[in-house]
Chain A
Amino acid sequence: MMKSYEELREVIDKKNRGLRDKVMSLEDAIGLIQDGDHVASGGCHYSKTAMAAVWEMIRQKKRDITYSRSIASTEGDLLLVAGVVKRVVSSWFSPGVTWGVSRVMRHYTQNKIAEFEEWSHMSLGLRYRAGAMGIPFIPARAMMGSDLFPRLSDIKEMECPFTGEKLALIPALNPDVAIIHAQRCDAYGNVQLDGLPFMDKDIALAANKVIVTTERIVSNDQIRRAPDRTAIGFFCVDAVVEVPYGCLPHECYGQYEPAFKHMDYYVKLMMGRGPDGVKEYLDEYVYAPANWNEYIEKIGFKNILDATIEGRGIYND
């Protein structure tokens, strides 16, 4: 269901867009998410997942969330099993090619406990982009002729008024909340991203609220020294939270690769025992730790060190 243009403008109009300090705790930031919201995560697959935000959403027992992401990985399993998410909107959903098809995704969708709404990768990207541009759709030359098209309620086809060609109309997506993880960000919400940009910029502009978790909070002076590197502007950001290793066990470009041993451990548990295995994982890794740092400790120093050495290695020639 698409919000009217007037409604979308009103949300932006009400936002305090001043250059002001938005640093807060993870708990307070995730407190901005309401039950029933559409939450979109930046990154893709097991890269730059806003894992700390997902982890805190589970701890705060959010309900009836629609979760969208270019490709969903293990965080999608966690959100389903914790009862946070009822609908996943994505192009692909499983831990990773080498780890097989998620048993949790299969269990929840095949038993109709949750929905997985499938869009092609480009069309999901165009949905966020149309949302970011403040227009209701973008025409595209994909999706047509496939069986994906008729399963989706809000995609349409039209004859181009200029050329007469058939085009798919990809509808805008304006998430209620975007959760984005960054390498660095200042207190005002000027986000600088390294490496693969994924769909982060479009998601942030499309969303009504933007929560940024960041490896480091840097000074505004540092941002101003390289303003061309700022991918998401302070004006659309609502919360800034410093969360070192905020994507673990997934990766953050230039900082750390995935904690592969932990991923293997998780996937074995998930593929072996399905939702019950994931419940056990949630108890141990999400509910039991007092805070994010305790969770990181549980992943283990050796795992994190290995991931960090490999992650920083991208800058070696």
Chain B
Amino acid sequence: MAESKQTSGKPMTLVDPIDMSLLDAKFRDDIKSMPDGEELSACFACSTCTAACPIANQWTYKPHQLIRMILLGMREEVLSGKEIWECLTCFQCQERCPQKVRITDIFFDCKNLAAESGKVPEKVLAIAKELIDKGQLYVVTSDWEREDLGLEAAVPGLSTDGIRAILKETRTGRLVKGGE
């Protein structure tokens, strides 16, 4: 019989014990009350979401673990991790969940909770600033290219006043102000 390579230390399959005193039971209620968070508790940890995720192998915590961590109340670990921001938003996990847990949507909820406490990656904050300053993520610079193709140099109907006025008054405005 082949000898097991792992003779001492904890088995690879076990994770560090969770410190119960650090759990925040309100976390799952917060998520459940957010858009598309209702089905959170239906998760039975089958990890189909993780199998469907094209980048789960890059992550310390896999999608099914993140859902479990939300249910357990590991607010800090989920909201401070890189995983929620690296979610491709490809919806493959959500589409395949046999329990109809809206996983991708829930990760959007997590990002909103992180943003509410000011935790936004620098380059995402730069996008917020673009939206406040310019009202769009891409601005026409090569208008001669448009004219060559028979299009009007300036995009017909374009007005950025509306979006800028809205976002100045919502969280985007507060984040950009706080980041300055």
B is bound to A = no
